[in-house]
Amino acid sequence: MDSAEGNGAGAAPATSRPPGRPPAQETWHKFWLLTSAASISELGNTFLHLAMPWTILASTGSPLMAALSLGVQYLPFVASPLLGTLIDGYERRAVFMVSELVQGLLVALTPFLLMVDQVELVLVVLLVAGCGTVTSNLTSDFSLLPMLAPQDRLTEAYSRFGAATELARCAGPAVAGVILAGVGGYWALWIDAATFLVTAAVAAVLPRGEKPVVERGFLRMQKEGFRSFRKIPVVPRLTLVLAVYNLGAGAVPTVLLVLAADTWGWSSGWAGAVLAVGAAGSALGSWLGGRLWRGAPAERRVRLWFLVCAAASAALLMPWEGVVVLGFCALMAGEGGMNVTTNEYRFRAIPEDVSGRVNAVMRAFILGGAALSSVLLGWSVTLSEHVLRFAPALITSLLAVLLWRASRSLRAARPAEPEQTA
């Protein structure tokens, strides 16, 4: 058994937590406060992804501007390494709280800009708000959550956190649709802005962490983050495998929506319902991620979830619509379990003083694969043979399994070297 495989559930973390933090056993109840806050934030993000394009389309009549309003919200993920450096330079609870406040205020500003036909400024505002989304996600997932959960319940914590946030994501489109129909786009956006303010208020009662001592410049911290990314043995290979997987499977939900509307002739209501069920499947997978194979080493649990995703991807190639939908739900469940397992794996491997930067670099590569997936699957879904439409998802899922196994074998064959970090 190599050193990474020893970091399974219940194992001691790779690095000690900084002094001055409250005992995790005394903060388990506040873990649920964080989970509630993160779920409200996720509900707001999902809500915004539907409400903003709809409102811009209603205000301007421009499908291009409506589409761009969604694209600019994802663009900041490419700049994750820059934001990770900012995260590592400040106390994490404060970073989370400020990022939620900024998102709320910016979203509240957008209706006023739309009223005066300043759509271009709306896109700029959404770009900045997207930076807040990236910062919130990185801070809550890899700093605040582990701080509030006992070490022997970390897997359980990630599982419950993932299930709750995925359920919020599932409810987002339905809630947005009801509010949009009931009060209109402007009020819908103001209600959405209020969810971020609620999240910030919840964050205010979380225990304060230790403020990092930062004596280095921004560029030097950037270099240290990339150096740490390269030097921590498990990080580059996990990033590679997740990026390869996302290359084929990252855009499956979006492409399935296109397939249902254009090829199967489904109504938007039915297509949206399938995506909601897929999100519920992801929540189920997150819940199972903390319960299945708990005694297995972390390396093996990661591989097993990749295998679940590969088996589910095979169902996407079938010619029957019902089987494709079941395969999609199973794929989302596999991804939910994989997220829980890999998030815990990352936390145990990455020292806290560089966790913001290293996870940000990882996220840039991983979500880059998801962005390219939209191009690859967008092409394959137009093919007449149904067996080829989702073939990239199956191929990259199997390739991820092989790469994960092969990279572990190569590491086991090398002589052990001392781990170096910034």
Residue 191: count of CB within 10 angstroms of its CB: 18
Q: Which two tokens stand for residue 121?
A: 């400024």
pLDDT tens string 376-419: 666 666 666 777 778 888 888 888 888 888 866 555 545 444 43
Distance CA 12, CA 6 (A): 9
Distance CA 279, CA 277 (A): 5
Question: What radius of gyration, in Å, describes the C-alpha atoms of the chain?
Answer: 21
pLDDT of 148 higher than 70: yes
Least confident interval from 26-30, 132-136, 266-270, 320-324: 266-270
Answering whether pTM is above 0.85, one says no
Least confident interval from 105-109, 169-173, 277-281, 393-397: 169-173
pLDDT of 198 higher than 80: yes
Distance CA 38, CA 27 (A): 16
Amino acid at 387: V
Confidence bin at 105 (pLDDT 50/70/90): very high
pLDDT tens string 209-256: 666 655 556 677 777 778 888 888 788 888 888 888 888 887 777 677
Question: Could you tell me which of 57, 298, 272 has the C-alpha nearest to residue 177?
Answer: 272
Q: Residue 274: what are its φ and ψ, rounded to 5°?
A: -65, -40
More confident residue, 95 or 384: 95
Question: Could you tell me which of 411, 405, 81, 392 has the C-alpha nearest to residue 244?
Answer: 392
Q: Residue 250: what are its φ and ψ, rounded to 5°?
A: -60, -30
pLDDT at residue number 28 = 74
Q: Which two tokens stand for residue 3?
A: 């050193």
Are 69 and 56 in contact, with CB atoms under 8 Å apart? Answer: yes
pLDDT at residue number 10 = 37
- In sequence order, the 6+-apart residues with CB closer than 8 A to the CB of 137 are none
pLDDT of 272 higher than 70: no
More confident residue, 78 or 348: 348
Are 136 and 100 in contact, with CB atoms under 8 Å apart? Answer: yes
What DSSP state is assigned to residue 383?
A: S
Confidence bin at 123 (pLDDT 50/70/90): confident
Q: CA 16, 22, 28, 30 torsion: positive or negative? A: negative
Q: Tell me the mean pLDDT in the region 49-71.
A: 68
What is the four-CA torsion angle of 131, 132, 133, 139, rounded to 10 degrees? 110
Distance CA 96, CA 384 (A): 47
Are 314 and 327 in contact, with CB atoms under 8 Å apart? Answer: yes
Confidence bin at 16 (pLDDT 50/70/90): very low
Q: Which two tokens stand for residue 72?
A: 């600019």
Report the chain's mean pLDDT, rounded to a whole number.
75
Q: Which two tokens stand for residue 209?
A: 């962490």
Confidence bin at 50 (pLDDT 50/70/90): low
DSSP 94-148: HHHHHHHHHHHHHHHHHHHHHHTT-HHHHHHHHHHHHHHHHHHHHHIIIIIHHHH
pLDDT of 3 higher than 50: no
Question: Could you tell me which of 267, 256, 242, 236 has the C-alpha nearest to residue 317?
Answer: 256
What DSSP state is assigned to residue 143?
A: I
Distance CA 353, CA 362 (A): 16
pLDDT at residue number 408 = 64
What DSSP state is assigned to residue 118?
A: -
Least confident interval from 6-15, 256-265, 268-277, 355-364: 6-15
Confidence bin at 174 (pLDDT 50/70/90): low
More confident residue, 362 or 25: 362
Q: How far is CA 298 from the centre of its chain?
A: 20
Please classify residue 231 by burial: count the beta carbons closer than 10 Å to its beta carbon, then call 0-12 exposed, 13-18 middle and 19+ buried: middle
pLDDT at residue number 343 = 82
Question: Could you tell me which of 397, 405, 341, 347 has the C-alpha nearest to residue 373?
Answer: 397
Neighbour-count burial for 361-385, b at 16+ CB within 10 Å, e otherwise? bbbbbbbbbbbbbeebbeebbeeee
Distance CA 422, CA 230 (A): 10
Distance CA 16, CA 155 (A): 17
| Tokens 């190639």 -> residue | 317
Amino acid at 333: A
Residue 195: count of CB within 10 angstroms of its CB: 25
Q: Which two tokens stand for residue 328?
A: 């999609």
Q: Tell me the mean pLDDT in the region 86-115.
A: 86
pLDDT at residue number 173 = 64
More confident residue, 414 or 177: 177
